[in-house]
Amino acid sequence: MRVGLVLAGVDSQLTLDHPLCRSYPLTASTSQQSSSSSLAGQYTATQFSFASTPKPFKNPHYTRHSAPGGPGKRNKTLKQILTLERERVDEEVRKRREQREERRRLRQERGETAAETDAEDEEREDEVVSFVSIEATPSLMPQKRYCDITGLEAKYVDPRTLLRYHSPSIFELIRSPSFQPAVVQAYLALRGMGVVLR
């Protein structure tokens, strides 16, 4: 038995033993609708829709919102994150300043000299750690070198032109007569190794 399929205005003939028809069995209501319609023996694209097929990998009890009736977790924008970070750092600095003033006042009541107080305060002065203030030491890993022609990781360097290259095929291109010295200098200048005449 052959079935006519109407998809976006394109008619094509499928048999019922076709994989598409076997994977999406027709319901009784669909077959009744099609037999009673004027397009007897033909089906529309909505009858083969993926929306009505069961999806066993989805959790039927899943709810998007974490709190009942409330919105779920919202992502913050970069501006909001930076503002909150700045407020947190300012609050931390203010608390440390108040603590320092309190220690200074207590020391003055005890009769310690101002020089001793200032020296101890400078020793206790810690930098407030934030996303902006984190500093790292230079990496001990060797710097990666990239091919001047392709941009891939370079394994080799041409001793004549000092161009870095990725594979022997690129080396053949570098040594070909079409690769003029001006082109070589342009590639070296892109890397910052160009010849500067004074």
- Give pLDDT tens digits along the chain (198 positions): 444 444 444 444 445 555 555 544 444 444 444 444 455 567 777 777 787 777 888 888 887 666 555 566 788 999 999 999 889 989 988 998 898 889 888 888 887 666 665 666 565 555 666 666 667 777 889 999 999 999 999 999 999 999 999 999 999 999 999 899 999 999 999 998 877 666
Say if CB 146 and CB 163 are below 8 A apart.
no
Instruction: Tell me how far apart the alpha carbons of residues 156 and 32 are, in angstroms, rounded to a whole number.
Output: 72
Q: In Å, how far are 51, 84, 172 from 42, measured between CA atoms? A: 20, 61, 62
Place of tokens 């947190």: 88
pLDDT in the model for residue 43: 77
Say if CB 17 and CB 23 are below 8 A apart.
no
Contacts of 174 (CB under 8 A, 6+ apart): 149, 158, 161, 163, 165, 184
Say if CB 148 and CB 164 are below 8 A apart.
yes
Listed by start position, the domains of the chain span 2-48, 78-124, 144-198
Other CB atoms closer than 10 Å to residue 111's CB: what's the count?
6
pLDDT in the model for residue 114: 60
Contacts of 110 (CB under 8 A, 6+ apart): none
**Tokens representing 45?**
């694209």
Contacts of 42 (CB under 8 A, 6+ apart): 3, 4, 5, 6, 34
